[in-house]
A and B are shown apart, each in its own frame.
Chain A
Amino acid sequence: SAVISQKPSRDICQRGTSLTIQCQVDSQVTMMFWYRQQPGQSLTLIATANQGSEATYESGFVIDKFPISRPNLTFSTLTVSNMSPEDSSIYLCSGAGLAGVHEQFFGPGTRLTVL
Chain B
Amino acid sequence: QKEVEQDPGPLSVPEGAIVSLNCTYSNSAFQYFMWYRQYSRKGPELLMYTYSSGNKEDGRFTAQVDKSSKYISLFIRDSQPSDSATYLCATAGGTSYGKLTFGQGTILTVHP
Contact = CB atoms under 8 A, between A and B. Distances in A.
A48 interface: yes
Contact of A92 (B43, B92, B97, B99): B43
Contact of B46 (A1, A44, A48, A109): A1
Interface stretch (B63-71, B72-80, B101-109): B101-109
Interface stretch (A14-22, A69-77, A98-106): A98-106
A-B CB proximity, top 10 nearest: A106-B43, A102-B32, A42-B102, A42-B104, A43-B102, A108-B43, A102-B49, A106-B44, A102-B92, A109-B43
Q: Is the interface of B mostly helix, strand, loop or mixed?
A: strand
Nearest to A6: B43
B97 A101 contact: yes
Contacts of A31: 98
A42 B103 contact: yes
A109 B39 CA distance: 12
Interface in B4-58: 6, 8, 32, 34, 36, 41-46, 49, 51
**Most B CB atoms within 10 A — which of A1, A40, A43, A107?**
A43
Given A31-B98, A48-B98, A109-B43, A102 B34 contact: yes
Contact of A43 (B41, B49, B88): B88
A92 B102 CA distance: 14
B85 interface: no
Interface of A: 1, 4, 31, 40-45, 48, 58, 92, 94, 100-109, 111
Nearest to A111: B41
Nearest to A4: B43
A27 to B, nearest CB: 16
B110 interface: no
B105 A42 contact: yes
A104 B43 contact: no
Contacts of B97: 100-101
